[in-house]
Amino acid sequence: MSSSQQKIPTNWEEREALRVKGQFWTPDWVADAMISYPVTGGFTDIFDPAIGAGAFFLAAKRIAHQTGVQLRLSGTESDPDMLIEAKKWGLTDGDLSEVQIRDFVLDTPAISLSTAVANPPYIRHHRLSAEAKGQLKALCRKITGFTIDGRAGLHVYFLLTALSMLRDDGRLAFIMPADTVEGVFAKKLWDWITRHYCLDAVVSFAPEATPFPGVDTNALIFFIRKSQPKDTFYWTRCLVPHPRELKDWVWLGFKTGSSTTLDVQSRVLEEALATGLSRPTNNALNSSHTLFTYATIMRGVATGSNDFFFLTQQQVRDLDIPSIFLQSSLGRTRDVPGDTITHQTIADAEKAGRPTFLLSLDGRSLETFPLSIQSYLAKGVGLGLPLLALIKQRKPWYKMEKRRAPSFLFAYLGRRNARFIRNEAGIIPLTSFLCVYPRHNDVEYIEALWRVLSHPETVRNLARVGKSYGSGAIKVEPRALEMLPLPETVLQETGLDRHNQLELAF
Ligand SMILES: C[S@@+](CC[C@H](N)C(=O)[O-])C[C@H]1O[C@@H](n2cnc3c(N)ncnc32)[C@H](O)[C@@H]1O
């Protein structure tokens, strides 16, 4: 059986089981390229700290067969069942004789490594116990001298541990989720790595070339050597799945140019660290023309319980809620099929039985509300709503956040591309959207800003500020969206740059 044939279950529970253990297998075309890195450096000992079903061992055997170089395989794995799985995938007892069943991070073998090749378990921080988190924190301090934000997942500690075990000139190839370079902890982590190790190359994947189809993860491969850091490195993007050139590119020391399947760039480390290692070169990085110059951003309303506060037309009628306590609202990006919200968009959502009314109460005392609202709120108390995490912080608990209707919305995550939306119906969005408030309210300004926001070049720039997921989805937080570079040519074309940028309209 080939390791590229892992079927990702569509069933939620089975997927969860895989996620808890971080068990996703590396496809052959990626494993072959990664194994080539230590082999081209003349190393013959291959160590995989998380062998799983043995994708890298199998790749090593293929490369050994092709090159005639004898490779010795060793590694660790926490799940003993994986050895049985690995044999099903074609490995022998002899291949697996140097695999230890142990926790690589919390019970690290006392050895040094000439190579480390891994697809470490992508186990996010909220799946780690408080005790494990404490141990990981201590481990990071021991290796680097500092701690990193607690939102780093287990894979980050795999990387740190393996780096700390490398011998001089040793080589490491890790495939990791993009949060490794995009998370809040990333700057500190990569400043440290690139000051102590030599980053040779980074590989990214276009959505259609993802090594893990069906998994919501944007993967990156890092090729790192324990030697003098350099100011430049190679960065490439795989444009199609299974490019033969990927292995050849590694084999030739990353030096070949771009082709129809690989977009290769030689990059300055400083620029790449500032831009983010998951993103292509950003020449507009120091542009003073960011969205913040022309608009401010806020997230949509967080109700704390959409089931209770976000109502359908039928519920509004049944509960007899007066319209002065309601605001027209949308909560799902799917309810906005196009790029403009009109009254028809709301009517269509209502027809589909979707909630479109936000129960927007102020902080007055309970008895001063009409009886229909009093009894609905009593029902909320019965359901325990005032004790819910977010609602608990509000005083009184039913007082809803206030927003002005924004001129534009931004749908910041979803299978469909992140996009700006025109809010012609004046709705108040919930948290699936961000609110974009132009700095001026005159029609001409708003029209020009819309032309800038909907321009393909502006939309392309979202990848420069957002966090990337598999299948091309991008998540952009409010502060990051304010940093969105607006292309100078587009600003000139639309005339937006001529407006007085500092005057606030509100
Ligand atoms: C993403 S899979 C990769 C497996 C394989 N190397 C591949 O690329 O296909 C990660 C593996 O790490 C194992 N694992 C999880 N936590 C571990 C730990 N603390 N120490 C060692 N292995 C661990 C999981 O059981 C899983 O088999």
User: Is 281 within a domain?
Assistant: no
- Whether 217 lines ligand 1, by a CB cut-off of 6 Å, is no
Q: Does the Cβ of 482 fall within 6 Å of ligand 1?
A: no
Q: Long-range contacts for 283-290 (Cβ within 8 Å, ≥24 apart)?
A: 284/461, 284/464, 284/485, 284/487, 284/488, 285/464, 285/485, 287/485, 287/486, 287/488, 289/485, 289/486, 289/487, 289/488, 289/491, 289/497, 290/482, 290/483, 290/484, 290/485, 290/486
Quick check: 478 and 302 in contact, CB under 8 A? no
Tokens coding 420:
């700006």
For the beta carbon of residue 444, count every other beta carbon within 10 angstroms.
11
Taking residue 149's Cβ as centre, other Cβ atoms within 10 Å add up to: 13
Q: Say yes or no: 260 and 303 in one domain.
A: no
CB 125 within 8 A of CB 153: yes
HSE-CB at 446 with a 13 A cutoff on CA atoms is 16
Token code pair at residue 423: 């809010």
The tally of domains found in the chain comes to: 2
Q: Residue 377 is which amino acid?
A: L
Which among 195, 199, 431, 474 is positioned nearest to 331, based on CA atoms?
431
Give the closest residue to 51 by CA, choosing from 17, 83, 77, 25: 77
Q: Which of 249, 275, 301 is the C-terminal boundary of a domain?
A: 275
Same domain (yes/no): 36, 182: yes
Residue 270 is encoded by which pair of tokens?
């400083």
> For the chain, what's the residue count?
506
> Are residues 205 and 129 both part of a single domain?
yes
339 and 437 in a single domain? The answer is: yes
Q: How far is ligand 1, taken at its centre, from the CA of residue 52, in Å?
A: 5
The rounded Å distance from CA 122 to ligand 1 centre is 9
Which CA distances in Å does 207 have to 34, 58, 210, 456? 20, 26, 5, 18
Cis peptide bond N-terminal to 456, omega within 30: no
Q: Which atom of ligand 1 is nearest to the CA of 118?
A: 6
Q: Is 27 in the pocket of ligand 1 (CB under 6 A)?
A: no
Give distance in angstroms: CA of 131 to centre of ligand 1.
20
- By most ligand atoms within 8 Å of CB, the mutation choice from 3, 4, 61, 77 for ligand 1 is 77
Site to probe by mutation for ligand 1, drawn from 18, 21, 139 as the one with most ligand atoms within 8 Å of Cβ, is 21
Q: Is 52 in the pocket of ligand 1 (CB under 6 A)?
A: yes
First to last CA, the chain: 64
Residue at 503 is within a domain: no
Q: Are strands 99-101 and 113-118 parallel, antiparallel or unpaired?
A: unpaired
Q: Are 160 and 143 in contact (CB under 8 A)?
A: yes
Closest C-alpha to ligand 1, atom 6:
51
Asked whether 24 lines ligand 1 (CB < 6 A), one says: yes
Q: Domain boundary residue among 275, 307, 322?
A: 275
* Two tokens, residue 149: 């934000």
Q: Do 97 and 176 share a domain, yes or no?
A: yes
Domain containing 148 — which CATH number? 3.40.50.150
- Edge to edge, what strands does the sheet with 72-77 contain? 45-48, 72-77, 99-101
State in Å: Cα 82 to ligand 1 middle.
9
Residue 315 sits at the vertex; the CA angle it makes with 402 and 324, to the nearest 5 degrees, is: 40
- Tell how far the Cα of 67 is from the centroid of ligand 1, in angstroms: 27
Q: What is the CA radius of gyration of the chain?
A: 26
Same domain, 489 and 370: yes
Residues 256, 299: one domain? no
104 touches 79 (CB < 8 A):
no
Residue 38: which domain range? 3-275
Q: Are both 42 and 189 inside the same structural domain?
A: yes
In a domain, 185, yes or no: yes
d(CA 49, CA 121): 10
Distance (Å, whole) CA 206 – CA 208:
5
Say whether 118 sits in a helix, a strand or coil. strand
CA–centroid distance, 75 to ligand 1, in Å, is 10
Q: Is 153 in the pocket of ligand 1 (CB under 6 A)?
A: no
Residue 21 CB–ligand 1 contact under 6 Å: yes
* Assigned domain for 288 exists: no
Tell whether 248 is covered by a domain.
Answer: yes
Domain end marker among 275, 309, 333 = 275
- Do 317 and 265 lie in a common domain? no
Report d(CA 337, CA 341) in Å as an integer. 9
Same domain assignment for residues 247 and 322: no
The DSSP secondary-structure symbol of 207 reads G
Quick check: is 284 in a domain?
Answer: no
**Residue nearest ligand 1's atom 12 by CA:** 50
Cβ 105 under 6 angstroms from ligand 1: yes
- pTM tops 0.75: no
Note whether 120 and 86 are within 8 A (CB). Answer: no
Contact 312, 350 (CB under 8 A): yes
Choosing from 78, 96, 156, 159 the residue with most ligand 1 atoms within 8 A of its CB, the one to mutate for a pocket test is 78
Query: Do both 83 and 145 map to the same domain?
Result: yes
Q: What is the DSSP string of 238-261?
A: E-SSS-HHHHHHHHTTT-----SS
**230 and 307 housed in the same domain:** no
For residue 290, list its beta bridge partners.
485
CB of 77 closer than 6 angstroms to any ligand 1 atom: yes
Show the tokens assigned to 25: 């297998």
Closest C-alpha to 380, from 368, 454, 392: 392
Q: Is the dihedral of CA 96, 101, 105, 109 positive or negative?
A: negative
**Residue 75 forms part of a structural domain:** yes
Beta bridge partners of 224: 172, 199
Question: Residue 428 corresponds to which tokens in the numbers above?
Answer: 């108040």
298 pairs with which residues across the strands? Answer: 435
Q: Give the tens place of pLDDT for each residue, 393-436.
A: 999 999 999 999 999 999 976 555 678 999 999 999 999 999 99
Residue 285 lies in a domain: no
Predicted local confidence at residue 277, as pLDDT: 95
Task: Show pLDDT as tens, one digit a residue, over the chain (506 residues).
Answer: 344 456 655 566 665 566 666 678 899 999 999 999 999 999 999 999 999 999 999 999 999 999 999 999 999 999 999 999 999 999 999 999 999 999 999 999 999 999 999 999 998 887 888 899 999 999 999 999 999 998 899 999 999 999 999 999 999 999 999 999 999 899 999 999 999 999 999 999 998 999 998 888 899 999 999 999 998 899 999 999 888 889 999 999 997 778 889 998 888 898 899 889 998 886 544 456 889 889 989 999 999 999 999 999 999 999 999 999 999 999 998 999 989 999 999 999 999 999 999 999 999 999 999 999 999 999 999 999 999 989 999 999 999 999 999 999 999 765 556 789 999 999 999 999 999 999 898 999 999 999 999 999 898 888 878 888 777 778 888 888 888 889 888 998 998 887 744 443 33
